[in-house]
Chain A
């Protein structure tokens, strides 16, 4: 710090920074992007390894024999489901009881803020059924959970069948040290949310559920099973949970280890592992896998039923059976053995899973990028904001000594008052964007020929676009504008604000922070009044979302036309709002209340007169 306390050297340093500011920023941006893309390159990443001793060296043997019987149970379940037209609660209770479990039910009611058109539901009533396998000579302090959703239509019947088959098999084993809870949840995540809130007696989102009567202590780990066909070709592991939370990496390692041991094809993001990292296609394969993970994590929504467990510090993942056109098929007995092995290892845990990483990205199932490797990519982007802010600060400081001190002080008020106005107005717009769509849906439906969901989404888009007109309207009301000095101060504030916002976001959810930084940092860094408004709009948060949707579809190898992309974009907005109100996802409020106002501040600079 001697460097900074010496005025001469400090001056030299600031001179350097201001003179070379733009090139440095460009280099940083490119370096950040390059670094990020390099993360998918195999030699730069680490191989996964099991950190938890209790799961590593201990050997377990899998003997689950009853795959066929499980499928028969699944068919029986399907028949009862069809007969009842929903969850066959009585049948499930009886079946679980006959397998020697303690069975409990939980009913819940949830009224969505507006109808969910993807899943066609508005007022949701359902019942969760769960059976607890009490471990012998255990004192109900620890539990493991296995869940299977009771989905509509013909999906996931095999999962429930396998769950019941495993319950029966597990019940006759003696080695359990933790209670095992077998849960069949109705209405996927809504049921899961009700069950978890009931289990932990919290109510974060205002649902209405009946209290639980049976518990197994603190839940250590959970797996969620999705299986819709009698045979599968591969198992897909889904890790991304609510708000981009991930389970401990050891859970993924455990899954991978057992897939290797039993000989099941396993994928992550639906992508198989490839061994040709040297080739371009090999690299692009792993880059795609990683990008998919980044996009899913950035969305902040739970990508499987496991996603809600993570809030309660329960390590959870979803295992999804995929049946494609490959030759090599795996039967239910094998999947049962895989799950048995995983549960036996989880049963051996002495402590919660904590040894391995909680923050990581996976370019493939055997490779991971830890937080120490990916954070520099974001850091390189974030440093641009600080450099620009420094530059502005120096410029402002350089112009200030020109005037006399007293004059500068007198100028303080007109300098900061309009700034405050702009801050408040931007944030009011943000609040409007956050509240109005849901609140004004009825009014919108009365006046326009649209459904409630469309009303919400279109209101949101309307408010978003209306925010763009703000600078024109507010200019007239306020005075003391148009100075060179004014926009510089505004930009300085906006830059620092954005840096803090993105920094905090990236700490919690790296992917979201990075994607926002990718689009927002360039405009924040290089915006000056004459900059083209088109670029500004194209890099706004809303458009970023649209690009993400399109890229996501592209990466999933289901490309869509722009028309379909737009429809998807609309449904993504409605899903985002629903995720927030149903499960407490924070992406929508973050975008509406903080990122969008921040972007509006920058937008104001554009129309500075």
Chain B
């Protein structure tokens, strides 16, 4: 995979080469953006007359210096003034909107101030250790000046973009801890209209160009190392299968979807340093029902959908680095500073994903904007990372603490799940935060403590935030059993046939619900589809919908999609037998005795909400609110993945093929040929042939009528 490392740089050059905005790779691009925006933000304090609430002597001084610097920048950068004014205008509107209540106004303003203050902090940190501060500052200013002058400042764009980041920390019942990062960039632009989009601010250019070049409507890609343990950990916020998963909806204007898919996978392979170029027709399918578009739009023709999984893909830092570079702040500021690979890959589960989709621009939904969501999910293990102690902190998890929000982010928050801990009896959370947020996640009402990183008070006296969870009890209570989970294994022994068992559990005590099961099996396992059985509770369970696409050797995999009704509190077992194909000897992988992977099956379902199953009425609630069980939603969508399979195929002994081939050929040629000869011929003793002279003499004798010579 290391070979792709060079690929990405080549690709970055290729994609960004014609841009005047970028001098090097993606990273510098983003940092330039950061600088320009930083300048944009400053005037808002000018319009807002209120001074920062917490001011120490040095900080104000530095702030002043910064003001100077930026003033130089803004004064000289005439080309940028339009944009700046625009932006100022926007913020004016936002802050001084007349009908808004004063309190909110106040907090908002406060937030703005704080963010700017945070932003200045970056500069301070940068220059702190250099003694001639003045010179350095001047250099900074010069640099800003340079960038302003040498690079044409982009023309005013009407497109708005915004960036949000958040981190959810969820203590799990097993004692492990689940950290989920989400970064969302939203941009009101249209890549697919005639005019080429060439100015990128927050949205990564490499992805924008991919979208416009391949007419992508939706793109979902995930890299996962490890398997999500549903029975221990509950449901993840965003499920993903082990290995790499990619599914893409193309626009209906694309004529040759297969070609676009092929090129797209190769380009993405370069962007993410992954082996996505191994996606070809033998592992690509077009599911008919399991993967519907998640964004707005009404095209659901499966011809424009491609889905592929690479279960063998190993995810490591080389995939994380390009993923981090897509963030507006990179890993320099904001929540992304926590993403140090030595800690992220010292975990039980690591999954990074990227989702691009069109979403509604406003509540009327007349036009769409593009949403890029980057997620990273990590589970830290109690025993290996936590040394067996039920005590977690940001520092223990990531070996970093938070000191600031990303200056480009419009919101930056850390959530801690305290649903099971309303009075703090389970664990102690420090520092305490007054902000609490309620949300319905996966059909379950959850309560979160919120740390707003754009609020300066969050960081307290130490200027850093290190959220600490310390358990009071040794055991955390029993986890509600996940309503839906699946597992899969290969049954049987020997290398000729086998049977794939997929078990789907419905743990709901009284509700039945349907699930969509998607199975993709490579061609070298020849499914005997007539042996397909679906049983629940010992009885045959007839799927109401079956979509089966048989495989073609070396061309396409098996695709099996079924809609199955799961009875309440049951296990549904789907079995299908297969025969292991004997590959051609060049088709074996370099490690054939390791086995061949079969990707996870996908179970998509609308699951009844667990809110209805809430039996412990310990929480103080008004009676009128708790009669009808369904609170917000009665069902919610859930997708789970089973484990991938490792199947051994009949493998020749590759250790001495030459000897084997030579010996076999010789034996066959010599032994078989002559033995066959011996068996099929009859042997007779032949009289010795006569000499030519004698034969001639005999002919003459016959003519003469004389007895012949013997």
Contact = CB atoms under 8 A, between A and B. Distances in A.
B591 to A, nearest CB: 5
B25 interface: no
Given A1-B674, A201-B499, A218-B595, A136 B347 contact: yes
A352 B646 CA distance: 12
A397 to B, nearest CB: 14
A218 B678 contact: no
B645 interface: yes
Contacts of B349: 136-137
Interface in A336-363: 350-352, 354-355
A134 interface: yes
Interface in B221-276: 225-227, 229, 231-232, 242-243
Given A141-B644, A200-B491, A215-B489, A172 B595 contact: no
Interface stretch (B157-165, B379-387, B456-464, B540-548): B379-387
Given A1-B675, A7-B683, A172-B388, A218 B227 contact: no
B685 interface: yes
A422 to B, nearest CB: 28
Chain B interface mostly: loop
Contact of A217 (B346, B384, B499, B646): B646
A218 B648 contact: yes
A139 B644 contact: yes
Interface in A418-444: none
Interface in A121-154: 134, 136-142
B417 interface: no
Given A102-B232, A140-B227, A171 B644 contact: no
Contacts of B127: none
Contact of B229 (A1, A134, A352): A134
A312 B493 CA distance: 5
Contacts of A535: none
B311 A139 contact: yes
Contact of A200 (B382, B493, B495, B683): B493
Nearest to B348: A136
Interface in A181-240: 200-202, 213, 215, 217-218
A5 B495 CA distance: 42
A4 B676 CA distance: 12
A195 to B, nearest CB: 14
A201 B489 contact: yes
B643 interface: yes
Contacts of B347: 136-137
Contacts of B243: 139
A194 to B, nearest CB: 15
Given A102-B232, A134-B229, A137-B345, A350 B591 contact: yes
Contacts of B490: 218
Interface residues of B, number: 52
A86 interface: no
Given A174-B384, A202-B492, A142 B678 contact: no
B384 A141 contact: no
B655 interface: yes
Contact of A138 (B227, B387, B677): B227
Given A137-B226, A217-B646, A350-B594, A100 B383 contact: yes
A97 to B, nearest CB: 10
B88 to A, nearest CB: 48
Contacts of A201: 489, 491-492, 499, 501
B487 interface: yes
Report, as a range, how many residues of chain A touch the other chain: 20 to 34
Interface in A1-45: 1-2, 4-5, 7
A313 B345 contact: no
Nearest to B243: A139
B597 interface: yes
A201 B573 CA distance: 12
Contacts of B645: 141, 217
Contacts of B491: 200-202
A311 interface: yes
Nearest to B350: A137
Contacts of A202: 491-493
Highest count of chain B CB atoms <10 Å: which of A2, A142, A201, A213 = A201
A271 B229 CA distance: 46
B236 to A, nearest CB: 15
B484 to A, nearest CB: 15
B593 interface: yes
Interface in B86-104: none
B373 to A, nearest CB: 23
Nearest to B686: A7
A174 B346 contact: yes
B535 to A, nearest CB: 12
Given A139-B311, A352-B594, A172 B384 contact: yes
Contact of A172 (B229, B383, B492, B494): B383
Contacts of A2: 674
Contact of A1 (B345, B388, B677): B677
Contacts of B597: 141
A7 B646 contact: no
B591 A351 contact: yes
B383 A171 contact: yes
Given A134-B229, A137-B350, A218-B490, A7 B685 contact: yes
Contacts of B501: 201
Interface string B445-482: 00000000000000000000000000000000000000
Contacts of A213: 487
A247 to B, nearest CB: 15
A218 B501 CA distance: 14
Contacts of B675: 1
A312 B494 CA distance: 7
Nearest to B229: A134
A215 B591 CA distance: 24
A530 to B, nearest CB: 36
Contacts of A7: 683, 685
B678 A5 contact: yes
A354 B655 CA distance: 10
A217 B647 CA distance: 9
Nearest to A6: B683
A57 interface: no
Contacts of A354: 593, 651
Contacts of B593: 351-352, 354
Contacts of B388: 172
Nearest to B349: A137
A100 B487 contact: no
A173 interface: yes
Nearest to A51: B655
B226 A138 contact: yes
Contacts of B227: 134, 138-140
The 7 closest A-B pairs by CB, nearest first: A1-B674, A139-B242, A201-B491, A351-B593, A137-B226, A141-B646, A140-B643
Interface of B: 225-227, 229, 231-232, 242-243, 311, 345-350, 381-384, 387-388, 487, 489-495, 499, 501, 591-595, 597, 643-648, 651, 655, 674-675, 677-678, 681, 683, 685
Given A140-B643, A171-B384, A201-B501, 20 more contacts: A5-B681, A102-B229, A102-B232, A137-B347, A137-B350, A138-B227, A139-B242, A139-B311, A139-B643, A140-B242, A141-B644, A172-B387, A172-B388, A200-B491, A201-B489, A215-B489, A311-B493, A350-B591, A350-B594, A351-B592
19 contacts: A5-B678, A5-B681, A100-B382, A102-B231, A134-B229, A136-B347, A137-B348, A138-B226, A138-B227, A171-B383, A172-B387, A200-B491, A200-B492, A218-B646, A313-B493, A313-B494, A351-B592, A354-B593, A354-B651
